[in-house]
A and B are shown apart, each in its own frame.
Chain A
Amino acid sequence: MDVLKRNNVTVYGNGDKAILFAHGFGCDQHMWRFVAPAFTDAYKVVLFDHVGAGNSDSSAYNYYKYQSLQGYADDVLEICEALKLTGSIFVGHSVSSMIGVLASLKEPKRFDKLVLIGPSPCYINDEANGYVGGFSHTDIEGLLDSLDSNYLGWSSAMAPVIMGNGDRPELGDELKNSFCRTNPEIARQFARVTFLSDNRSDIQKLQTPSLLLQCSEDVIAPYAVGEYLHKHIPDSTLNVLAATGHCPNLSAPEETIKAIKAYLTTS
């Protein structure tokens, strides 16, 4: 198995130290397009697609391996091994934040620092323990319905029409590379694994220093979750961005870049 091919790994940039960007649920490595270029002078930039997303090899998808986030974390470590990376920087968006935490717990030498954008250790509310993740189980079922109507009901039939982006063919390509191309079954499973994951006990064991980038208003990872993480992750720094939504790397790339660089240079 060629790991680099499996995860469609892209490497560029001039630095010795590597910075690895991991995309979140619903996207692929293209979501780093506004952020990653800012690091090419000082770092070796590593981008990849999770199996089932973007241009990864969907045939490598294995239901049992990817039934928990650990399977994705193992992929990250396999990429590190293939590229002989140690002491690198891990930047994870959304669900990939926890994937980075799990990878660091298993092989701490791989990453010196973690940058976690819009992280959440658990999306489901846990009333018994007074934890507010923001969602209930029913909400997740609603997401699965939404996925079904957009992946199965819509994109499979309509994708060819959208790709006929006559005047701007590059857009068609990009769309082709984004979620339309994700296998619907894998998307469903990834959604379940993501939103039903609970890594609250893992984060407390984390030894690697981390930066938590919290957006001002984020439905997926509300402020309370950022606070919870900051309280429970040893050696963590919480930075609340002015940006709203769940994707500051896309909606406010400058602010995101500035926050990451500030953390990497000062700490």
Chain B
Amino acid sequence: MKEKNDKLVYQHFLDESFEDLYEHAPCGYFSSLPDGTIVKLNTTLAQWLGYHKTEILHQKRFQELLPIGGKIFYETHHAPLIRMQGSVNELSYDLVSKSGALLPVLINSSHVTDAEGKVVLYRSTLVNISDRKKYEAELLQAKKKAEQAAKTKAEFLSTVSHEIRTPMNAIIGVANLLQATDPSPRQLEYLRILKLSSENLLNLINDILDFNKIESGKISLEERPFNIRELLQHLIYNLLPKAEEKEITLTHEIDARLPSFLLGDPVKLIQVLTNLIGNAIKFTHTGSVTLRVQAIEVTSKDVVLEFKVSDTGIGIAADKIHKIFEEFSQADYEINLKYGGTGLGLAISKKLLALYNATLQVESELGKGSSFSFALKLPISDFQPESQQLVDLPHSHPGSLRGIKLLLAEDNSVNIFILSQYLKSWEVAFDVAEDGSEAIEKIRQHTYDLVLMDLQMPKLNGYDATRMVRNLPDEKFKKLPIIALSASSKFDLQQRLDYAGITDFIGKPFNPRDLYNKIALYSTATPQQAGNTSGSFSVETSILPPTDPSWHVNLNEFRKLTRHDTTQLTELIRLSIENFTSFQQNFKEALYTRDILLFEEVAHKSKMTLRSLEATRLSQLLDRATDLLQSGEQDTSMLAVASREISQEIDVIITELIAQIPDQPGNIS
């Protein structure tokens, strides 16, 4: 009996609590007619909106609680949707409260239908999302701030790097100029260090710029046809000197199934491979570095290539492997101390490969070596590009050296390939000897105008081979010009070169123009067309870039003379250009007619200008040509080379003078 009484009591409260729950629930409720008129709402919602219930009930439609944008949304989205599907979920609105303040809510609505299925009412539940909106706004703000900060940082980095790059180029340029001023051996060594350090610094800056560009999405892949075999050959060729310097072997194995022409971005591919091979050489002290390129899949349309760079270097500990791909990070601090570098190379390579959806794989064992590999799918190119801009093959090189026959003593197949390309284009006839003994054999059996001798060759090296040639019985072997090819600097080798009886020297990688000039200079046979073509030399030379990107003239003296007055300076430069143009013509004529008086007269006239402008190289060339004329040299090819070099140098000087004409008053930097 007592139980029954108890039940009656709480039943009463239960009924009441339903109402209470509705009225004071933590969410808003309302019911509306199909046209939106609100016919019931709970206290919570009324309080949120700041209205008395009676101000809303039968007085207001739901859409009247919305700002105008929300009203349009209601009419164009909400109303059709709920008509079509009977309910809507979590529509986001701002409700306008009595005070005019906005209340952000999410609304769920569903219809209530009568027995015939006709819509009688809509019931809606509202969740107050003021807090969520606040968080959202703050998150958004924070995100925008972070993005802006990152952008500012990247822009700063990019600006600063550019700013550093300009003076760095100047430093390297001046170091190059200094090298040509007859420095003492000690100064030369200082210069070498100066250049090396500046170049390293420049590389670092370029890396940072690259990395920044990738980070900000400014790098995209090009697609153009390129010769993959040629690209790989050149790549190896350019890296060989580095390997030779460290006395490690750099070899390559290229799959025979590799198609020649592919479509892709050769510059980025070179960048990645140069980085990987460069690293391998850097971290290898003995043994070898190998580039292996395999065609994994070949169809008529495309090819999947696996590039693998293996070395026998210091390797990476298993627990450090993941670190090497992080930007600005190397396996450990010790590595940085010992080997230098920014740790950006691999990060850049990885990101560049990511543009191809390719990943860089690494296998490594500490102390045994590492191998980095990646696979690329590249389309096969239908047509072959007309000229390879990428690689500096001699297509643009002028002049024929037809009639000259030389021996190329070189064991490295890539070097042979590259040198052959040039020799063929100059129409030089040549034989190849792959080691020192073969070279001696060939020199005995044939008559050559010149020998290009690699110094590092198996069996018999270049020094010994040259000495043995000089000791051959016939007198002609003593005079035979032998030009050494080596990656080491001439200065380091001079004594040994002299001792072996080597005529001259060309550094590796060689400058094609130097090679051309040396061959022309030392070949005793007159190239068949040399005399005839000498008249057109200035035309040919104008398409040649200067040997050296550094400055050939210095305007400081001119600036002092004109007291930094731009108008006067411009006039002085203009006059100088006029003079140089006429000097150029006079020197050419004088050399062509071997008119020593004319030559000396013009040389004398130009002397003051040359000194003011510090045009050291041109002065040297003029001195050399004067010597040549005074010695009564009969060989037209030598005079032709001298004429060409002078003309070329004047072209460079004129170009530089034009470039330095102040364009705005006051700006004479």
- What sequence of 0s and 1s flags, for each residue 9-39 of chain B, a beta carbon within 8 Å of any chain A beta carbon? 0000000000000000000000000111000
User: Is A178 in the interface zone, CB < 8 Å from B?
Assistant: yes
Are A142 and B69 touching (Cβ within 8 A)? Answer: yes
User: Is B5 in the interface zone, CB < 8 Å from A?
Assistant: no
User: Is B495 in the interface zone, CB < 8 Å from A?
Assistant: no
CA distance A195 to B69 in the complex (A): 11
User: Is B300 in the interface zone, CB < 8 Å from A?
Assistant: no
Which of A101-156 touch B at CB < 8 Å?
A: 135, 139-147, 149-150, 153-154
Shortest Cβ distance from A45 into chain B, in angstroms? Answer: 18
Are A135 and B68 touching (Cβ within 8 A)? Answer: yes
User: Is B71 in the interface zone, CB < 8 Å from A?
Assistant: yes
Are B84 and A154 touching (Cβ within 8 A)? Answer: no
CB within 8 A of B91: which of A141, A154, A174? A154
Shortest Cβ distance from B455 into chain A, in angstroms? Answer: 63
Interface of B is mostly: helix
CB within 8 A of B75: which of A161, A174, A245? A245
Q: Which of A23-31, A204-212, A228-236 contacts B (4 or more CB under 8 A)?
A: A23-31
Whether A146 contacts B70 in the complex (CB less than 8 A), given A162-B90, A174-B84, comes out as yes
Are A142 and B67 touching (Cβ within 8 A)? Answer: yes
Residues of A within 8 A of B67 (CB): 142
Shortest Cβ distance from A122 into chain B, in angstroms? Answer: 15
A interface size (C-beta, 8 A): 41
Residues of A within 8 A of B36 (CB): 245
CA distance A250 to B119 in the complex (A): 12
Are A25 and B76 touching (Cβ within 8 A)? Answer: yes
Query: What residue of chain A has the Cβ atom nearest to residue B66's Cβ?
Result: A146
Shortest Cβ distance from B582 into chain A, in angstroms? Answer: 59
Are A178 and B81 touching (Cβ within 8 A)? Answer: yes
User: Is B507 in the interface zone, CB < 8 Å from A?
Assistant: no
- What sequence of 0s and 1s flags, for each residue 218-256 of chain A, a beta carbon within 8 Å of any chain B beta carbon? 111000000000000000000000001111001100000
CA distance A135 to B67 in the complex (A): 12
User: Is B86 in the interface zone, CB < 8 Å from A?
Assistant: yes
Shortest Cβ distance from A250 into chain B, in angstroms? Answer: 4
Shortest Cβ distance from A32 into chain B, in angstroms? Answer: 10
Whether A171 contacts B85 in the complex (CB less than 8 A), given A146-B69, A150-B92, comes out as yes
| Of listed B35, B77, B136, residue having the most chain A CB within 10 A | B77
CA distance A139 to B34 in the complex (A): 25
User: Is A179 in the interface zone, CB < 8 Å from B?
Assistant: yes
Are A219 and B136 touching (Cβ within 8 A)? Answer: no
Residues of A within 8 A of B92 (CB): 146, 149-150, 153-154
CA distance A178 to B83 in the complex (A): 12
Residues of A within 8 A of B136 (CB): 153
Which of B83-126 touch A at CB < 8 Å?
A: 83-87, 89-93, 106
Shortest Cβ distance from A151 into chain B, in angstroms? Answer: 9
Which of B431-457 touch A at CB < 8 Å?
A: none
User: Is B523 in the interface zone, CB < 8 Å from A?
Assistant: no
User: Is B79 in the interface zone, CB < 8 Å from A?
Assistant: yes
Whether A31 contacts B68 in the complex (CB less than 8 A), given A154-B92, A247-B79, comes out as no
Shortest Cβ distance from B70 into chain A, in angstroms? Answer: 5
User: Is B63 in the interface zone, CB < 8 Å from A?
Assistant: yes
Are B77 and A179 touching (Cβ within 8 A)? Answer: yes
User: Is B51 in the interface zone, CB < 8 Å from A?
Assistant: no
User: Is A97 in the interface zone, CB < 8 Å from B?
Assistant: no
Residues of B within 8 A of A142 (CB): 67-70, 72
User: Is A175 in the interface zone, CB < 8 Å from B?
Assistant: yes
CA distance A218 to B63 in the complex (A): 11
Are B93 and A146 touching (Cβ within 8 A)? Answer: yes
Whether A174 contacts B68 in the complex (CB less than 8 A), given A153-B92, A245-B35, A246-B79, comes out as no
Are B77 and A30 touching (Cβ within 8 A)? Answer: no
Residues of B within 8 A of A174 (CB): 84-85
With A27-B80, A144-B69 already in contact, 13 other A-B pairs whose C-beta atoms are closer than 8 Å: A25-B76, A31-B84, A140-B69, A143-B72, A174-B85, A178-B84, A178-B85, A195-B72, A217-B35, A219-B72, A220-B76, A250-B79, A251-B79
The 6 closest A-B pairs by CB, nearest first: A142-B69, A26-B76, A250-B83, A246-B75, A143-B69, A139-B68
Q: Show 11 residue pairs from A and B whose CB-CB distance is below 8 angstroms, ordered by the A residue.
A: A139-B68, A146-B69, A150-B73, A150-B77, A150-B92, A158-B89, A178-B85, A220-B72, A244-B35, A247-B75, A250-B79
